[in-house]
Amino acid sequence: MCRPARKFCLPERSLVHSDPVVASDLNDTSRFKVNGSRDRPSREPSVREACLVVMYGESIGRRISLTAAPLCIGRSAESDLQFEEESVSRNHCRIDPTLGAAGVPESWSVSDLGSTNGTYVNERGVESAVLNHGDHLQIGRNILKFLVSGHIESAYHEEIYRLVTTDGLTNLPNRRAFEDAMQREFSRSTRYVRPLSLLVIDIDHFKKINDVHGHLAGDAALRQFATVLKANLRRDDFAGRMGGEEFAVLLPEIDDAGARLTAEKLRLLTARHRFVFEEAVMPLTISVGVATRMPSDQDPMEIYRRGDELLFAAKRTGRNRVHG
């Protein structure tokens, strides 16, 4: 839903696990349960406390404090931390502390419990691994970030701020952050009469990847595409995930011809890239709509609308192509 104070708001798609975090998301625990006392800090916390923060999946922004007791994670109602979705095994994994003097935790590790879809740390499947500050732990389709700090409240609130502006799956700026950046660049481009171009990108036949290889593979493909995107843009370019399989890129100081060259380069690099999940190779192509600010444009939405229309023209005429 568009916020009334904004000058423009990009069109919404029907999305799953891709909307920006809002205050109500952080309080919604209806599909996410912490049983027993695992969600409460110990009465005598150590100098270095630790927690998990849900970055993507059920109850984004939720914090789970880690104590001197093991934390069992799974789909079972008997789990200390329960995720109620099919990609999570009944007994999926366990977080174990390593205790030092006086029973105070010094470090934490994760062990897979023979789960169907595996346990991943920073996108690598593990049977057991020591967790380090900032590690991303994937359990089914859920991604949690491990934080350990002498100032855990500050570390947690920093992550919540990031969640407001960052897509938890791809680590790209989310729709809200992209809207803000587009407003800034549009104002600068208009004031100084400088070129500004936009790419609206959609991964072709993405539903087929989910249908054939599963949603975990689809998530992996989105992350890998985001990596390709970031690696092949200039420092001043601004890429964001708009939701689902749609991405967008702002190209400051780039005219229409330069934007088409950038779009074509990204299209070719994507088609040649080897997208892999476990042993499955997933060929990907993209369609791209290219739009450039015109003197008659009154707000950024006009540019985005043209880019969106050209994207759909690219898809209608066969996909794996650039229109603009």
Active site members: 245
What is the phi/psi pair of residue 97, to 5°?
-85, 150
- Tell me how far apart the alpha carbons of residues 12 and 1 are, in angstroms, rounded to a whole number: 8
Q: Which residue has tokens 């406390």?
A: 49
Structure tokens at 111: 């062990």
Structure tokens at 308: 């969106």
Q: Which residue has tokens 């423009």?
A: 8
Q: Which residue intervals of 148-255 are DSSP H helices?
A: 152-165, 175-192, 206-213, 215-231
- Tell me how far apart the alpha carbons of residues 154 and 213 are, in angstroms, rounded to a whole number: 39
- Tell me how far apart the alpha carbons of residues 25 and 58 are, in angstroms, rounded to a whole number: 9
- Tell me how far apart the alpha carbons of residues 152 and 301 are, in angstroms, rounded to a whole number: 40
Spell out a b/e string for 147-168, using b for 16 or more CB atoms within 10 Å of the CB, else e: bbbeebeebbeebeeebbbbbb
What is the phi/psi pair of residue 271, to 5°?
-65, -30
At 146, the amino acid letter reads: F
Tell how many helices (H) and how many strands (E) occur in the chain. Answer: 7, 19
- Beta-ladder partners of 82: 33, 74
Q: Give Cα separations from 50 to 39, 43, 277 (angstroms).
A: 12, 14, 30
